[in-house]
Structure 1
């Protein structure tokens, strides 16, 4: 069996946009489970996993990891960012659209590390998580989504997206504590 990667999507967010308030409410409920999952990966607990952050560059094509971390930590909700800031030795890929695969080297990073399963975490369930799950599925990766480590803008659409991933992409929908076991 190949390896597992925990992919953290779009969590470096300054929360200064039109739909920031409902998103921040959703993120507040999932940052704890996500932070604990990231800590388990960093400590090597359970099944060994590769940790990869893929984050929207918010239209700034010169932005570095450090720039995106600083903007998020200086944003409206640093309490939602600080628990999940990527370590300097962690893979970090900027993205420009919804899927973490689109226009990034994610597929290459996963294949070079013998990854067969991706655990998709972060925001937004009904957008970036859903589209990344589809792109992972069509690339023949196994997909796992911890329901308590993803955030939705619209709870009903988030639930529908989880159901779509489960039915259409054969994603395993679990709690974060069940990942890497």
Structure 2
């Protein structure tokens, strides 16, 4: 584990993603956990990548369901596409995406390669969609993955727990708490 080169990847921590009541309820705790991770990453020299979903206002990048509903979200330049209040992303590398996986049609892999990253620590929303899609595609890229239990969230707690359990079982991805990740980085386990 000591020879890992890790990166912290924050996914969709934007205003529009907290419109759901359950996500709104856990927003402050989620942001606090993510900020602890960001601080620990900076101190350990671990790269921080903030992945944002950003859609064009003309509908050109909308998903099929957005087009069917006639309504987009996380529209470029809107308040909904901005990072959620209180999130500390200063100095993070920003990667924009239009689909669930942070790897799909983005430069995330190039950013990770520039830092010789072989293991990603994922947090953000929603566990069962964008975070899971990114975790599964990271596996396809031969990257190790740590899912941060208390720095990810879903519209449904049971779905959150089930998704983490499936990723751990099917893809052998570790599931940790933010404090465990911070302690690992403080101990120098990231080989930063």
TM over 0.5: yes
User: What RMSD, in angstroms, separates the aligned Cα atoms of the two structures?
Assistant: 2.2
Per the alignment, residue 56 of structure 1 pairs with 53
Alignment of 1:9-158 (within 5 A): 9-14=11-16, 17=19, 20-42=20-42, 44-45=43-44, 48-60=45-57, 63=76, 67=77, 70-71=79-80, 81-87=84-90, 89-158=91-160
> Any idea what SS the aligned residue of 1:84 has?
coil
> Any idea what SS the aligned residue of 1:94 has?
strand
Contact 1:99 1:135 in 2 (8 A): yes
Contact 1:56 1:96 in 2 (8 A): yes
| d(CA) in 2 for partners of 1:157, 1:7 | 21
1:16 deviates by 7.3
Per the alignment, residue 64 of structure 2 pairs with none
**Structure 1: which 5+ residue stretches go unaligned?**
none
> Any idea what SS the aligned residue of 1:119 has?
strand
1:85 deviates by 4.1
Q: Which of 164, 167, 170 is 1:162 aligned to?
A: 164
1:32 deviates by 1.4
1:146 deviates by 1.1
| d(CA) in 2 for partners of 1:72, 1:82 | 12
| d(CA) in 2 for partners of 1:2, 1:21 | 37
> Any idea what SS the aligned residue of 2:8 has?
strand
1:173 deviates by 0.4
1:72 deviates by 5.3
**Structure 2: which 5+ residue stretches go unaligned?**
62-74, 185-192
| d(CA) in 2 for partners of 1:15, 1:144 | 22
1:12 deviates by 1.7
Q: Which has the larger radius of gyration?
A: 2
> Any idea what SS the aligned residue of 2:13 has?
coil
1:30 deviates by 1.8
Contact 1:26 1:152 in 2 (8 A): no
> How many pairs does the alignment contain?
165
